[in-house]
């Protein structure tokens, strides 16, 4: 699943989340008007049976609030450290200002990854996008472990204009082996990325 490709229209403030290959109807479903709340996304932008807007907002509000509270404290994941050929059982967390995604070292003494949410460009999943988006070395590591390819998440980020690297693109791989946790991570991070982007200007 492609998470987001965000852009602003100069004539009016609009943030649009575009999924690669999406129809115009699907793209329009993601349009929001900043500075709306995190819950300004259209109900039909998410899978599942149609729900009344108020009910959907309540569901998202509860889901995101609980996820944010848990993620600030830290949640379990696996970090695929391709440079060393290791799979680290560790935790990810989101900073208290909901600005960055952090992946800690297993002993929590160091930071393995720090990525501003506003710079996250896409998230690919092994379950939805297939194994073709992942490097062979990463897949070999996973196949030799107890993880499955559908547990994989490829997070693609763009460089920061403030650091003079607006065209730089980098990525890192996580794995979450609990299906419900993985789905919640994807749905909530989609919303938090929009929130972070709106508040980065």
pLDDT values of the chain reduced to their tens digit, one per residue, 201 residues: 544 444 333 333 333 333 333 333 333 333 333 333 344 444 444 455 555 578 888 999 999 999 999 999 999 999 999 899 999 999 999 999 999 999 999 999 999 999 999 999 999 999 999 999 999 999 999 999 999 999 999 999 987 666 656 667 889 999 999 999 999 999 999 999 988 988 776
Q: Six-digit token pair at 5?
A: 């490709």
Model pTM score: 0.70
Furthest-apart CA atoms within the chain: distance in Å? 52
Asked whether the beta carbons of 42 and 30 are under 8 A apart, the reply is yes
Query: Strands, E, within 43-147: which ranges?
Result: 75-81, 86-94, 100-104, 111-116, 120-125
d(CA 41, CA 117): 17
């Amino acid at each position: 699943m492609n998470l987001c490709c965000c852009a602003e229209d100069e004539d009016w403030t609009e943030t649009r989340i575009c999924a690669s290959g999406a129809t115009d109807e699907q793209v329009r479903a993601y349009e929001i008007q900043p500075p709306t709340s995190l819950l300004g996304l259209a109900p039909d932008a998410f899978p599942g049976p149609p729900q009344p807007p108020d009910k959907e907002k309540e569901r998202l509000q509860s889901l995101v609030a609980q996820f944010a509270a848990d993620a600030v404290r830290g949640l379990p994941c696996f970090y695929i450290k391709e440079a060393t050929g290791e799979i680290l059982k560790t935790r990810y967390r989101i900073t208290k200002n909901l600005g960055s995604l952090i992946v800690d070292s297993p002993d929590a003494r160091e930071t393995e990854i720090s990525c501003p949410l506003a710079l996250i460009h896409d998230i690919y999943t092994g379950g939805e996008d297939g194994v073709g988006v992942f490097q062979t070395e990463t897949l070999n590591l996973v196949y030799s472990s107890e993880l499955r390819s559908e547990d994989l998440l490829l997070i693609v980020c763009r460089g920061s204009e403030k650091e003079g690297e607006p065209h730089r693109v980098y990525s890192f791989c996580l794995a979450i082996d609990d299906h419900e946790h993985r789905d919640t991570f994807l749905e909530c991070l989609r919303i938090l990325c929009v929130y972070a982007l709106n508040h980065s200007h």
